[in-house]
Amino acid sequence: MKLTPSRLSRLIGLAVYTVAVLAAAGPLAAPLAAGEIELGPRPYYLIDRMRGGALKTRLLSCADRPMERKLFSIGHRGAPLQFPEHTVESNRAAARMGAGILECDVTFTRDKELVCRHAQNDLHTTTNILATPLAAKCSRGFTPAEGARPASAECRTSDLTLAEFRTLRGKMDAADPAAATAEDYMDGTAGWRTDLYAAGGGTLMTHAESIRLFRRLGAKFAPELKSPAVDMPFDGFSREDYAQKLIDEYKAAGVPPGDVWPQSFDLADVKYWIDNEPAFGRQAVYLDGRYDLSGFDPLKPETFRPTMAELKGMGINYIAPPMWMLVTLRDGEIVPSPYAAAARDAGLKLITWTLERSGPLNRGGGWYYQSIREVTDSDGVMYELLDVLARRVGIEGIFSDWPATATYYANCMGLK
């Protein structure tokens, strides 16, 4: 990638980072002890930007406290605020920051091997494939921008064998839609992220390798079965085969079902686990994407189909909506939403996503803060929102692109 003046400035501006977190990209070690958890400067940066009050005082009082790993803190694809997502390096960093649970989004290769990628068709934005001979195998090769047409490409894990997939290197998830070349297309990292820790590329993982890595790091598991970009069955590989293979890899590794929270946006996957792998199905998580459905409104329980009680009746114990669905504003104060109340009344446990994914919050916070946009005017709002989610909504855990933020809060508030 070209080292342009703006890129150089961005790298220099983001170069300050703690030695402890950098060490997370070093050789794989035994599980981290409490005293080895290092959060770096970001939690203190966020607290400094909070409005004065009891919450800020409470968080400041924990500044010198030793930090422990917390299940409340879930590494979302590792620590992709600054490390390439779903790489060994990203997950080591997340574990160093105290994430008690780590995520592998699961998809499959052409030879039906499970690998960690956020989507089956994201290799063109999350790896260096367009700079390799494997670009010729992409479902759609790179097309430069022309007039109003943006640059594009589509490269799928199912375009490659596992052996070919292993030759790729991870990069920050980004693309430049105005690019005239594949090199420029890959060089689109947002200014508030960084490529500083992507030098040389990140190490990709199979799902089975993620299980071994997370276990050695002392973390538990949150695999997400991703919707295929190909028609199923794929060469005889059915959707049920796919869901079963995910569970089988934990069973083969001897992982206790209580250490695994399998997830899917597809209700059929969650029901499959409940019906066919009940020990793992007890902690299966329905990722609630109904915000895309016409007529759905988290402020109006009458629009919930299925209802929360119906989901509970299916055997579902965990539901995971985005943060904004769990809160609303009342007289300028962040409060639990009717969605959150309905889930709680039905006996559903809540997990939510995704903290630290929005960039600077001084302009409303974007998609993840849409229900509290009016009061989102500084990065300090992040801890105000997290406090409502934890104490008033009662979430069990939160996915974060920078787990140190959630780990600090959980330690300070005595959460598990």
Burial of 105 (0-12, 13-18, 19+ CB in 10 A): buried
pLDDT value of position 121: 98
Q: Mark the ranges of the chain whose per-residue pLDDT is less than 50.
A: 1-29
* 139 falls within a domain: no
The CA-based angle 36-42-44, given to 5 degrees, is 95
Sign of the alpha-carbon torsion through 126, 131, 135, 139: positive
pLDDT value of position 32: 60
CATH number at residue 330: 3.20.20.190
* 109 falls within a domain: yes
* 35 falls within a domain: yes
CA–CA distance, 375 with 392 (Å, rounded to integer): 18
Report cis status (omega within 30 of 0) of the bond before 306.
yes
If you search the block for the tokens 């119906």, which residue do you land on?
310
pLDDT value of position 199: 87
pLDDT value of position 31: 60
Token pair, residue 90, equals 């990203």
CA–CA distance, 411 with 416 (Å, rounded to integer): 8
Burial of 119 (0-12, 13-18, 19+ CB in 10 A): middle
CA–CA distance, 40 with 18 (Å, rounded to integer): 5
* 253 falls within a domain: yes
* 297 falls within a domain: yes
Count Cβ neighbours within 10 Å for each residue of 281-298 and write b for 16 or more, e otherwise. bbbbbbbbbbeeeeebbb
* 188 falls within a domain: no
Q: For 158-202, what is each residue's pLDDT tens digit?
A: 999 999 999 999 999 999 999 999 999 999 999 999 999 998 899
Q: How far is CA 123 from CA 92, 142, 192, in A?
A: 21, 12, 22
For 321, how many CA atoms within 13 A lie in the half-sphere containing its CB? 25
Residue 258 is part of which domain span?
Answer: 19-119+198-413
Q: For 10-44, what is each residue's pLDDT tens digit?
A: 343 334 333 333 333 343 345 665 558 999 999 99
Token pair, residue 328, equals 């609303």
* 409 falls within a domain: yes
Which amino acid is residue 310, in one-letter code?
Answer: E
If you search the block for the tokens 């787990």, which residue do you land on?
403
User: What's the number of domains the chain is made of?
Assistant: 1
Token pair, residue 220, equals 């538990």
User: Which positions ≥6 away from 342 have C-beta within 8 Å?
Assistant: 301, 304, 307, 308
Do 372 and 385 touch, CB atoms closer than 8 A?
yes
Closest to 214 in 3D by CA, of 100, 69, 70, 72: 100
pLDDT value of position 400: 98
Q: For 215-224, what is each residue's pLDDT tens digit?
A: 999 999 999 9
* 145 falls within a domain: no
